[in-house]
Amino acid sequence: MENFTPLAALIGGAMIGLSAIILMAFNGRIAGISGVFSGTLFAKTGDKAWRIYFILGLIAAPLLYRLASGTPLPFEMSANMPITIIAGLLVGFGTRLGSGCTSGHGICGLSRLSVRSLVSVALFMGVGFITVAVAKMIIGV
């Protein structure tokens, strides 16, 4: 557990919660990224603009943070290109089929005590644990 960073994790999590509160208080919307993002393509015309602004803020944030802090942000991804493409397809299709992801079900849904979200989180997290364990077995780490 030498990589454990509980305080930064907690503060970052609280900021994600703050974001969800802002979007609910002002816009009346759930901050579920898969839903917000897919709506930039498929929502009704008048329902697209705020989504595009949210996504722009999300993309700009790490850059601003990097400029302000002056330190590069670590990004290490061990998946090779074919696995990256398969994973992206699964995440895109799966989050739409299952109506949400880590933020929509995990943060917003669970905080509303949604049973659907609880089932979703238990499944995607359980499957995530299994996937990593199996992947490690296959590549022999």
Partner 1 sequence: MRQNLTALIAGAVFGIGLTVSEMINPAKVIGFLDLFGNWDPSLAFTMGGGLIVTAIGYRLVWRRSTPIFSEQYQLPQNTQIDKNLALGAILFGTGWGLAGLCPGPAIAAISIGGIKAMTFVVAMIAGIVIFEFVLGNRRPKTIAA
Residues 31-70 that bind partner 1 (CB under 8 A): 31, 33-35, 37-38, 41-42, 49-51, 53-66
Mask of contacts with partner 1, 83-122, x by CB under 8 A?
xxxxxxxxxxxxxxxxx-xxx-xxxxxxxx-xxx--xxx-
CB of 45 to partner 1, least distance (A): 14
Range list of β-strands (E), 1-139: none
Cβ at position 70, least distance to partner 1 in Å: 14
The secondary structure of 49-81 as a DSSP string is HHHHHHHHHHHHHHHHHHHHH-SPPP------H
Say how far apart CA 49 and CA 135 lie, in whole Å.
Answer: 40
Q: Among 45, 70, 129, 140, which residue interacts with partner 1 (rule: CB under 8 A)?
A: 129
Alpha carbons 98 and 110: distance in angstroms, whole number: 15
Residues in 13-32 at the binding interface with partner 1, rule: CB under 8 A: 13-31
Smallest distance, Å, CB 24 to partner 1? 5
The residue with tokens 């329902």 is 47
Tell me how far apart the alpha carbons of residues 4 and 48 are, in angstroms, rounded to a whole number: 38
Q: Of 8, 45, 70, 139, which one interacts with partner 1 (CB under 8 A)?
A: 8
